C-alpha cells in the first residue's frame, strides 16, 4: 500500500475532488446531517493523519525522498545528521526527526508528515553550522507543533474528508492522504503565525543545543542577500499570497531574541555594527565565507552567551589570534578588521574590564 501512495502526481489529488462525491444527496441532507458528517469526518481524518505522522516515519521518508531525490554525499550527510542529533538532545525536542539532503541547489528546507525534514544541498553549502542549526531548529518546531498535519488538512478540504469517511475504505484513505501529503510538500501550506512560532521556537531549539544565539539572524541576512525579502506587494499578493513574514522582519525578530537572551546588553545596529550596552564596538568586514552582516550577528551571539551565563571576564588574545572572554570564543579578526589590540581594548572598556 505505502509504496504506491506517492506515485501519482499531485494533479491526481486535485482530480479526487471530482472523482469522489458525497453519497448523501444534497437535497436529502439537512443542515444538521451536513454538520454532523463534517464534524465526524474531520475527526476521522485528524485521527488518520496523526497516525501517519506518529507511526509511519520510515514509509513517509522513503516516499518524500522519491519525490525530491537524495543528494548522496557521506560527509555532508554525517554533518547534517550530527546537527540534527544535537538539536534532538536539547531537552526541548520531544520527537525523533528523519533528516536528509536533497540535490536541489536552491536555499530551502521543509518538514512534512512523519516528522521528515528535507534540507536542500544549496542550504547546507550556503550556511555555516550555527546558521544551519537555526534552520533545522525552525523545521523541527513545525514538526513539534504538528503544522504538517494541519497543512495537509487544508490541502484536502472538508468535502473530500466527508467522502473518504463515508466510503470507509482504509486503503483508499491512506492513498489519498499520501497524495495530499505530496501536495503539502509541493505547496508548503503554512500560515504566517506558524512561521513566527517556528522562528521563535527554532531560536530556543538551537540555543538550547549549544549553538550561537546569532545563528538565526545570520541565516536570514544570508537568505535576504540571496533571495531578497520574499514578500509580494499589490497584485503579486493575489497571485502569490505571502505565507512567510518579510525577511527583514524575521531578522529583526531574531535580533531582538538575541538581545533579550543577553539581558539587554548586546545588540546589532543596522545589521552591521555590534554594540555592547548601546555603544558601538565593531563593524565587521566580510570574509570569503561570511558576509559582514553574518559576522556581526555571530559575534554578537558569542557576546550574548557571555552575558547570559554571567561569565564576564577580561577579553584577551587566544590561540590562533582569536579573541576570547574566558572560555568563550568571541571572534577571529581578519586583516581588514580593526587592529586586534584595539578590538580587545574596546571590548574590555565596554564590559567594564
Q: Would you give the distance in Å from CA 270 to the centre of its chain?
A: 24
**pLDDT at residue number 233:** 45
Rounded distance, CA 16 to CA 162, Å? 13
Looking at residue 15, what is its pLDDT? 34
pLDDT of amino acid 5 = 35
pLDDT digits (tens, 9 = 90+) for 79-120: 999 999 999 999 999 999 999 999 999 999 999 889 999 999
Concatenating the DSSP letter of every residue in 259-304 gives: HHHTTT-EEEETTTEEEETTEEEE-PPP-SSS-HHHHHHHHHHHHH
C-beta of residue 261 within 8 angstroms of C-beta of residue 304? yes
Q: What pLDDT was estimated at residue 238?
A: 33
CA 57/CA 72 separation, integer angstroms: 20
Predicted pLDDT of residue 26 = 43
Q: How far is CA 26 from the centre of its chain?
A: 43
At 174 the pLDDT is 60
Check residue 353 and give its pLDDT: 82
Q: Which three cell numbers stand for residue 135?
A: 534552520
Helix, strand and coil in the chain, % to nearest 5: 60, 10, 30
Each domain of the chain, given as residue ranges in start order, spans 2-207, 215-351
Question: What's the confidence (pLDDT) of residue 6?
Answer: 35
Q: What is the rounded distance in angstroms from the CA atom of residue 129 to the CA atom of residue 119?
A: 13
Beta bridge partners of 108: none
pLDDT-flagged residues of the chain (< 50): 1-37, 158, 162, 165, 232-242
* pLDDT at residue 169, as a whole number: 54
pLDDT at 245: 84
In total, the chain counts a number of residues equal to 353
Q: How far apart are CA 141 and CA 199, in angstroms?
A: 8
Q: What is the pLDDT of residues 173-191, one digit of tens each?
A: 565 566 555 555 555 557 8
- Of the candidates 41, 4, 1, the one whose C-alpha atom is nearest the C-alpha of residue 22 is 41
SS3 annotation, 81-93 = HHHHHHHHCCCCC
Q: Is 322 left (phi over 0), alpha (psi -120 to 50) or beta?
A: beta
Question: Looking at residue 191, what is its pLDDT?
Answer: 80
- pLDDT at position 201, please? 97
pTM of the model: 0.82
Amino acid at each position: 500500500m505505502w509504496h504506491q501512495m506517492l506515485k501519482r502526481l499531485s494533479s491526481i489529488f486535485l482530480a479526487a475532488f471530482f472523482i469522489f462525491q458525497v453519497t448523501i444527496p444534497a437535497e436529502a441532507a439537512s443542515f444538521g446531517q451536513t454538520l454532523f458528517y463534517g464534524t465526524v469526518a474531520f475527526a476521522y481524518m485528524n485521527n488518520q493523519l496523526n497516525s501517519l505522522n506518529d507511526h509511519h516515519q520510515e514509509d513517509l521518508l522513503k516516499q518524500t525522498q522519491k519525490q525530491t531525490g537524495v543528494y548522496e554525499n557521506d560527509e555532508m550527510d554525517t554533518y547534517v545528521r550530527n546537527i540534527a542529533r544535537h538539536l534532538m538532545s536539547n531537552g526541548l525536542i520531544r520527537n525523533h526527526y528523519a533528516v536528509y539532503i536533497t540535490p536541489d541547489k536552491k536555499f530551502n528546507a521543509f518538514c512534512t508528515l512523519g516528522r521528515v525534514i528535507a534540507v536542500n544541498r544549496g542550504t547546507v553549502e550556503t550556511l555555516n553550522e550555527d546558521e544551519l542549526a537555526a534552520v533545522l531548529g525552525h523545521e523541527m518546531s513545525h514538526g513539534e507543533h504538528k503544522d504538517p498535519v494541519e497543512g495537509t488538512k487544508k490541502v484536502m478540504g472538508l468535502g473530500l474528508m466527508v467522502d473518504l469517511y463515508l466510503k470507509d475504505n482504509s486503503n483508499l484513505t491512506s492513498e489519498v492522504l499520501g497524495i495530499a501529503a505530496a501536495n503539502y510538500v509541493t505547496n508548503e501550506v503554512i500560515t504566517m503565525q506558524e512561521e513566527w512560532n517556528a522562528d521563535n521556537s527554532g531560536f530556543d531549539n538551537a540555543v538550547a543545543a549549544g549553538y550561537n544565539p546569532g545563528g538565526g539572524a545570520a541565516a536570514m541576512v544570508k537568505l535576504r542577500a540571496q533571495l531578497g525579502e520574499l514578500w509580494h506587494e499589490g497584485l503579486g499578493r493575489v497571485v502569490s499570497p505571502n505565507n512567510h513574514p518579510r525577511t527583514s522582519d524575521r531578522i529583526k525578530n531574531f535580533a531582538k531574541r538575541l538581545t533579550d537572551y543577553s539581558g539587554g546588553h548586546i545588540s546589532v545596529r543596522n545589521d552591521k555594527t555590534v554594540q555592547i550596552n548601546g555603544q558601538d564596538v565593531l563593524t565587521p568586514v566580510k570574509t570569503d565565507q561570511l558576509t559582514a552582516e553574518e559576522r556581526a550577528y555571530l559575534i554578537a551571539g558569542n557576546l550574548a552567551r557571555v552575558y547570559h551565563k554571567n561569565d564576564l571576564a577580561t577579553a584577551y588574545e587566544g590561540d590562533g589570534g582569536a579573541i576570547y572572554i574566558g572560555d568563550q570564543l568571541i571572534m577571529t579578526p581578519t586583516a581588514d578588521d580593526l587592529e586586534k589590540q584595539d578590538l580587545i581594548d574596546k571590548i574590555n572598556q565596554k564590559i567594564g574590564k
